[in-house]
Structures are given as structure tokens and as C-alpha cells.
Amino acid sequence: MHEMKLNNGPFESIKNGTKTIELRLNDEKRQLLKVKDKIEFTNRETGEKLLVEVINLHHYDSFTELYKHFDKVSMGYKEDEEANPKDMEEYYTKEEQDKYGVLGIEIKKISQ
């Protein structure tokens, strides 16, 4: 099983079923992911845990490319928010994105 930490907003969006694509850098840790693997997300603020199953892995060169292929709500945005790939630079530098590429991890919730 893989373990990842999440901020409260994305965690709650996965928990309530609206966010089905987790966006990550395709670094060494993420390259180990396979379809049907389990991921345990931990809420950074509350410590709450959530178990999901990987149902697909979508590889792209950049978040700009990834954002063209998915609905913004499935990526964790609210209907009235603008989905901007630059938002991901808060987490991953352009250099990291160029080096590793990016990953859209398609997930489904297993348990609360």
C-alpha cells in the first residue's frame, strides 16, 4: 500500500466523491504505482485517513497537458473556480515537472 499526505481541501473532495484524479509529479515514488494498488491518504490537518484504489494512471509531460484532458471538478476544483495548471507550481517546480513528467492518478474511494 502507498501512503500520501493531502491538504484538507483535496482530502475532503476525495472523501465526498467529487475529486477522482489526484495530481502528482511522476517522481520515483509515484513511478511505483500500478493499477489496482491501494493508496492511503492522510489529511495533513486532521490526521484522518482515507483508502482509495488506483483505477488508472495518466502520464503527461506537464500539468498544462494533463489539465486539457480532465474536468476541473474531477481534479479537485469547485465549479466556480478557475483550473490553472500553474497552481501545481506551488507544489512542484517547473524543473521537477520537466525532469519527471506528471501523473493523473485516477482513483475510487474504498472506505471512509
- The pTM score is 0.94
- The residue-averaged pLDDT of 56-74 equals 96
Give the whole-angstrom CA distance, residue 54 versus residue 106.
6
Q: DSSP label at 9? A: H
pLDDT on residue 87:
93
- Domains within the chain, CATH numbers bracketed: 2-111 (2.30.130.30)
Residue 23 has pLDDT above 80, yes or no: yes
Contact partners, residue 27, CB within 8 Å, separation at least 6:
96, 100
- The residue-averaged pLDDT of 66-79 equals 95
Residue 111 has pLDDT above 80, yes or no: no
Give the whole-angstrom CA distance, residue 66 versus residue 45.
27
